[in-house]
Amino acid sequence: MSGLLDGLPEAERALLREAPPGARIAERPMKAELSDRRDFTEGWIFERKLDGVRALAVRENGRERLLSRTGRRVNETYPEIVEALAAQNRADFTVDGEIVAFSHGRTDFSLLQQRMGLSTARQARASGVAVTYYLFDLLRLDGMDLTRLPLRTRKSLLRRALDFHEPLRFTTHRNQGGQRQLDEACARGWEGLIAKRADGRYLRRRSPDWLKLKCEWGQEMVVGGFTDPAGSRSGFGALLVGHYEKGALRYAGKVGTGYDHRTLLALRSGLDRLETATSPFADPVRERGVHWVRPRLVAQIGFTEWTRDGLLRHPRFLGLRDDKKPHEVVREVPREER
């Protein structure tokens, strides 16, 4: 056991277990639930909600693996992060965090997307898009499983176990949060806050111990079709998107804004390869000039609210996601509405 772990209180040392080998401890990362809760008692901490992609990193037996939320290896997409992990004095750890790209001081998912699709380190370095890896949890250290420890203890160990220099950053937190703090976060251009139970364990599932407090609506959507472009527009007119409900893809509306010329052409090329003769949606779609596609693509969509008919109001395209499987995309409902 390492010196850091030897210094834990006896009650917390009793919670430690020998960690499984390899990346198994990084499987099925903990996920937050969307919530409209704004009144919190003591016992919660509040982190900035980052607009990026989830990633877990494993260092073991002299090698590093950077894994997406679905377990896909992304070492070649973010080589500078892997190098920073390899430079650590600690030889054995597993961390959880979020990879982001900044534009004018704010995280920019559209900018990050320029890195997400790259598959070689050479392409990644030539992209000109700098990334930062914000670490917020420590799951394993020196062969020991830390997931049963309280969150506040895991974060304290994380801060002391690793050296934080670019592109690695420690995710700081506050001990108070609520509507005022969320308003301040929104005014600074943040996506929102993540509220976490300070004494909570790391659970490999979606849990109410982690809550997403958003400044605006936004979530993943599955692409099921597109419309023809009109006028001088290239590529396509709008994406037709939906989410799964009891195994059926439910239609949520069309998304016609948020694209630049290059994105329109690149998306159209990918959509053409997925075109199919029948609609993947369980609901009727009353649009003209529709092309159906197999539901393989997941897009991040921002919007103002859901309508009573279950459609997106004022949706806009933010980018494609490759870290979530289409069948996992469901309508996110704040916990207090359930």
Q: What is the β-pairing status of strands 206-214 and 192-197?
A: antiparallel
Distance separating alpha carbons of residues 318 and 8, to the nearest angstrom:
44
How many Å apart are CA 299 and CA 319, to the nearest integer? 6
Spatial distance between the Cα atoms of 229 and 127, rounded to a whole number of angstroms: 29
The strand pairing partners of 299, in sequence order, are 221, 320
Residue type, 23: A
Coil/strand/helix, residue 234 = coil
φ, ψ at 84 (rounded to 5°):
-65, -35
Q: How many CB atoms sit inside 10 A of residue 174's CB?
A: 12
In whole angstroms, what separates CA 17 from the centre of its chain? 28
Phi, psi dihedral angles at 325 (to 5 degrees): -80, 145
From the candidates 31, 49, 246, 324, give the one annotated as an active-site residue.
Answer: 49
Q: Is 49 a catalytic residue?
A: yes
Task: Give the whole-angstrom CA distance, residue 57 versus residue 90.
Answer: 13
* Contact of 52 with 107, CB cutoff 8 Å: yes
Q: Please, where are the H alpha helices in the chain?
A: 3-6, 10-13, 79-86, 109-116, 121-126, 151-161, 179-187, 261-274
Which residues participate in catalysis according to the annotation?
49
